[in-house]
Chains A and B, each alone.
Chain A
Amino acid sequence: MAHVEEPSNLEKPEPAVVGYWRLSGVVGTLLVCAGFAAQGLFFLATKAAWLGVWILGVSGVVAAARVGFVLMTTRLRYRRLAFSSDAERLRVVHGVVIHREKIIPVSRLQHVDIDQGPLERLFGLASLTVFTAGGRGATFRVNGLTPSRAEAMRDQILRSIKNVER
């Protein structure tokens, strides 16, 4: 039977990713609720002011619940996130309620992305994504890496492909 690698041998992302997830969760929630809040304010200025109050109230409650959920679960999320890459395969473990472990054989890789959003740049982080021919469900994505670490991982992955194909 093949050797089974235990999750404890995997690498962790940078601890700063917790702050990034919290901030992006809060910003994302506020942006969505801002749209509803604008509608609520619009209705407040009309005869249907009750509808405006209702929309503002519901969007406020939803925003508070979502922000609270994000702030409470990011530590758990960080504890669960781990990854590894070696000559044969890439592996990422994640998920709080549903635990997931994604494995990609290095030889199946099609292309690699490193990307940085504005909030990631604020925290000095980047994301690495590896694509295969298996569609969206078959990609490998890790965020919470420093740019240099992401580039080193990418270069190692690309070298591994060459070695596999020799």
Chain B
Amino acid sequence: MSSVESEPSTTGTGTLVEGRLHPASILLQALKAIKRTAIYAALFAYQAVRSERESFQLWSVVATLVLLLMPLLISTIEWFRFRYRLTAEVLHVSSGVLRRKDRRIPVDRIQDLSSEAGILHRALGVLVLSVQTSSTQGAEVELDAISKPAERALRAALKQVTSLGVAKADVHETQTPAVDAPLFVVSSRDLVLRGLTDNRAGLVLAGVATVADRFLDIGGQDAFKSVLVAVRRHTDAVFGAGSSGAALLGIAALCLVWVAGWLTSAVVNTVRFHGFTLSESDQVFFRRYGLFTHRVHALPRRRVQCLRVEQTLLRRLVGLGVMRTDDMGAGAQEKSAQESGTDVFIPAASHSALMALVAKVLPESQSDALSWQQTSDRIVRRRAALGLFLGLALSIGGYRFVGMGSALCLLLVVPAALWGLAVHRTLRYARGHELLAVRHGVLSRHHAFVPRNKIQSLEISQTPFDRHHGVAKLQIWVGGGGRVTLPNLPLGEARALASELSAEPAT
């Protein structure tokens, strides 16, 4: 029965540092596992004490002991399996008992070495050393726990390799205040427009609901009922008894909430992004904004993985757009980036101004005269087929209620085909020497610009319907986990594009 062994690396030279975890890690790992099962052990121990049946008492005691001792046994075996070794080229870690793992990290991929020690670690004289690459899945290697001399030896060996020029450890850039002329300034008018096209009615509703809930909690039910009765009496007096006056008033109240949402959005956006200025200094973009809380965000140009220019339908009507970036911290779609606003590169500007700014943010786009290509026209047929299918389903389902009149549903094929035509006209891509650009959106409009050297991986996928039509979807991942999607490409074209984008650019 063959297994994975921790053999010396065939690609590396001599070992610089190697070792195991500190024996204290047996106790530390066991304690972590016991914390997870402590509640069950406590329940069994309680049953052992309280139960009157001897057999049940015995089993409860056994279960408690298993839950407390098994983690210790497992962590001991895992300690024997864990080894690390650093050569001039690779950090090699082998671990695992049931699932054995052998991990190799090229030294020049190591971005960060960080250490920490909690109270227990400090009491035992050990610490946790984490090794990180640019991969977004947390620390690639966690040495929990090693002694301080072992940590110093590993850092020194890595520094030695770094000083030989083999590895390039990331250096925290010194952020100098930008004093150059700003690249872009967002006007207050654009910020107000952004707010008005970003309705926060939901926020207002939630606020009103919270206040009403609190009011009812503190015994406001009677007051609430008398208000409702008074409103009903008033509407009956104005519109007549039994009329729909109350309903009209309800609609008016909802409209009021909607308007309040708009105004709130306008105020929130104006305050949040007040005085937004984008400037650049020494290959680093600085974004300054905020009325009450002043914020300055620095983003090195090389960390920009993808640039997006987006317009929702409302914003398109007023000619406004938003520019976002995917950086190595998080993709632009990630919720945390959206909530903190760090994904927003330019919060509001005219679409033409944003498109002109693309060349300044991504110099790669300057050398390319982008020629936009359409994707397959099979999308029209597919949408028409979908419309026909839906129309047929509605016709059959509606026959029972409206008779032959339900056959009118078959006309859905027309708007469906028109929609397919609109998608076909708006879905385009352009490939430059150093850049891939994708644009899509019928009602809203989206542009994405991806420098080729930021592409991490690509995937071509086909559903059964795609295979029938000979098309595929191409997805492109950039650093940080962001993704750009290009559907409806003929399969051969998708493969050619993927091969081209995954090839090393000629130097």
Binding site for B on A (CB under 8 A): 1-5, 88-89, 95, 97-105, 107-118, 121-122, 124, 126, 131-140, 146-148, 150-151, 154-155, 158-159, 161-162, 164-165
Closest-CB distance, A5 to chain B (whole angstroms): 7
A158 and B106 in contact, given A134-B456, A137-B477, A140-B457 (Cβ under 8 angstroms): yes
Closest-CB distance, A108 to chain B (whole angstroms): 5
Inter-chain contacts of B480 with A (CB < 8 A): 133-135
Inter-chain contacts of A124 with B (CB < 8 A): 1-2
A97 and B461 in contact, given A121-B1, A132-B477, A151-B7 (Cβ under 8 angstroms): no
Those of B455-503 within 8 Å (CB) of chain A = 455-464, 467, 475, 477-481, 483, 492, 495-496, 498-500, 502-503
Residue of A nearest to B475 (CB): A137
In the bound complex, do residue A138 and residue B457 qualify as a contact, i.e. CB atoms below 8 Å apart?
yes
Residue of A nearest to B494 (CB): A101
A134 and B477 in contact, given A103-B457, A116-B4 (Cβ under 8 angstroms): yes
Interface size class, chain B: 35 or more
Inter-chain contacts of A134 with B (CB < 8 A): 136, 456-457, 477-481
Residue of B nearest to A165 (CB): B108
Closest-CB distance, A73 to chain B (whole angstroms): 15
Inter-chain contacts of B332 with A (CB < 8 A): none
Those of B358-410 within 8 Å (CB) of chain A = none
In the bound complex, do residue A103 and residue B459 qualify as a contact, i.e. CB atoms below 8 Å apart?
yes
In the bound complex, do residue A98 and residue B456 qualify as a contact, i.e. CB atoms below 8 Å apart?
no
Query: Which of B98, B109, B135 is packed against the most chain A CB atoms within 10 Å?
Result: B135
Q: Whole-angstrom distance between the alpha carbons of A166 and B316 in the complex?
A: 48
Inter-chain contacts of B136 with A (CB < 8 A): 133-135
Inter-chain contacts of A140 with B (CB < 8 A): 457
Closest-CB distance, A92 to chain B (whole angstroms): 10
Residue of B nearest to A148 (CB): B2
Q: Whole-angstrom distance between the alpha carbons of A85 and B26 in the complex?
A: 39
A89 and B502 in contact, given A110-B135, A138-B477, A158-B11 (Cβ under 8 angstroms): yes
Instruction: List 17 A-B pairs, Cβ < 8 Å.
Output: A2-B499, A2-B503, A89-B502, A95-B461, A101-B460, A107-B504, A108-B455, A109-B106, A110-B133, A110-B134, A111-B104, A111-B140, A135-B480, A136-B137, A137-B475, A138-B456, A150-B4
A105-B504, A132-B135, A162-B11 are known; give 14 further A-B pairs, CB within 8 A.
A98-B462, A104-B502, A105-B455, A108-B457, A109-B109, A111-B109, A115-B101, A115-B102, A131-B133, A134-B136, A134-B457, A140-B457, A154-B104, A155-B9
Top-5 shortest CB links A-B: A135-B481, A134-B456, A134-B477, A133-B134, A138-B477
Inter-chain contacts of A5 with B (CB < 8 A): 495, 499
Residue of B nearest to A125 (CB): B2
Those of B1-31 within 8 Å (CB) of chain A = 1-5, 7, 9-11
Q: Whole-angstrom distance between the alpha carbons of A109 and B135 in the complex?
A: 9
